[in-house]
Amino acid sequence: MKGRRNNLMFYLWYLLFECFIASFLAFFIAQYYIITNKKFPYIFELMNIYNFIASILFIKILSIEYIKFANFLLFIILILFYVRSYLTAKDKFDSRFRSMILSFGYTRETYFYKFLMKRILLRGLEGFSFSIALVLLVNKIPFWLNFKNNFDEFLYVLIFLIGAGIVKATNFGKISRT
């Protein structure tokens, strides 16, 4: 029992590290496109939540035979998903406030750092928690037949899903026009 728990903790830390690195790289990709005012490639638009879930399931099927390629593909899919989540946060904020803020004399760079970065990071935290929960869920479903012995694995998925829900529902850093 103790060896299985150590393997779970190792896998959880590995997954946290991989998702953190992917989120970190995605933030800088999004920052580059936002500050330089370039159009995001269409591949980022395709990575909505449904395509993300389908990709994770495909990677799980692929990992049976090609584990290294599946891990690399998971890393790329995570980067695409995180950039997409940053992009939606930017679009939501831009549609409401960009023209008003830029009319006060802010540059794109100061607009990004003073107004947009908090919203993007919150959206990234939500996507980070959701992606970890989804990958854990897909990887551990076959082992949940005996729920009593696998309660800790189920608990980690619940914690990350609840964390994503709390970040989604929070009003921290929100600005209104009134």
Q: Exposed, middle or buried, 146 (CB in 10 Å: 0-12/13-18/19+)? A: exposed
Contact 30, 120 (CB under 8 A): yes
Angstrom CA distances, 147 to 105, 153, 157, 162, stand at: 58, 9, 13, 20
User: Is 62 within a domain?
Assistant: yes
- In Å, the largest CA–CA distance within the chain is 62
Q: Which domain holds residue 128?
A: 2-169
- Per-residue pLDDT of the chain in tens (178 residues, 90 and over written 9): 566 566 777 888 888 899 899 989 999 998 888 888 788 888 887 777 778 888 888 888 777 788 888 888 888 988 888 988 888 887 777 766 666 666 677 777 777 777 777 888 888 888 888 888 888 888 776 665 655 666 667 777 777 777 777 777 666 555 544 4
Quick one: which H or E segment has residue 139? helix 117-140
User: Is 176 within a domain?
Assistant: no
User: Is 7 within a domain?
Assistant: yes
User: Is 174 within a domain?
Assistant: no
Number of domains in the chain: 1
User: Is 175 within a domain?
Assistant: no
User: Is 147 within a domain?
Assistant: yes
User: Is 100 within a domain?
Assistant: yes
